[in-house]
């Protein structure tokens, strides 16, 4: 869990630094999106690790359930982002998708190693 959190934190800081120095102007929801995805990814990863330890027979079902929860929560978040601003919402959506794919790749990589132990 510690290695995952270190990797996720490093990735979030790197994304934040690159965004701060490269993207001009920053999308309105840039840091909120980064924090939201960081917290949700770390929380769901911890939940899945506990599930794997306590109820390994149900790991796949819980993993699929977390995917549904993420889809609903992230869809609601994107709905709020898009409806709250009309002109620059596309940049916030692009940032969300990039960060989501990076964090999901990290999560899957670490879960794969944990499940195959």
Query: Which domain does 34 fall in, by range?
Result: 2-115
pLDDT of residue 72: 95
pLDDT of residue 11: 93
Residue of higher predicted confidence among 56 and 100: 100
Number of domain units in the chain = 1
The DSSP code sequence of the chain is -HHHHHHHHHHHHHHHHHHHHHSSSPPTTHHHHHHHHHHHHHHHHHHHHHHHHH-GGGHHHHHHHHHHHHHHHHHHHHHHHHHH-SSSHHHHHHHHHHHHHHHHHHHHHHHHHHHT-
pLDDT of residue 65: 92
Q: pLDDT tens digits, residue range 20-75?
A: 898 888 888 889 999 999 999 999 999 988 888 888 888 888 989 999 999 999 99
pLDDT of residue 105: 94
Q: pLDDT tens digits, residue range 102-112?
A: 999 999 999 88
């Amino acid at each position: 869990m510690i290695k995952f959190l270190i990797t996720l934190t490093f990735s979030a800081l790197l994304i934040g630094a690159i965004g701060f120095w490269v993207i001009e102007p920053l999308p309105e929801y840039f840091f909120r999106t980064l924090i939201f995805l960081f917290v949700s990814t770390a929380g769901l990863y911890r939940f899945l690790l506990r599930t794997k330890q306590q109820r390994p027979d149900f790991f796949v079902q819980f993993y699929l359930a977390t995917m549904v929860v993420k889809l609903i929560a992230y869809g609601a978040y994107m709905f709020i982002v898009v409806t709250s601003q009309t002109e620059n919402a596309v940049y916030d959506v692009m940032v969300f998708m990039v960060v989501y794919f990076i964090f999901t790749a990290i999560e899957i990589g670490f879960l794969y190693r944990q499940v195959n132990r």
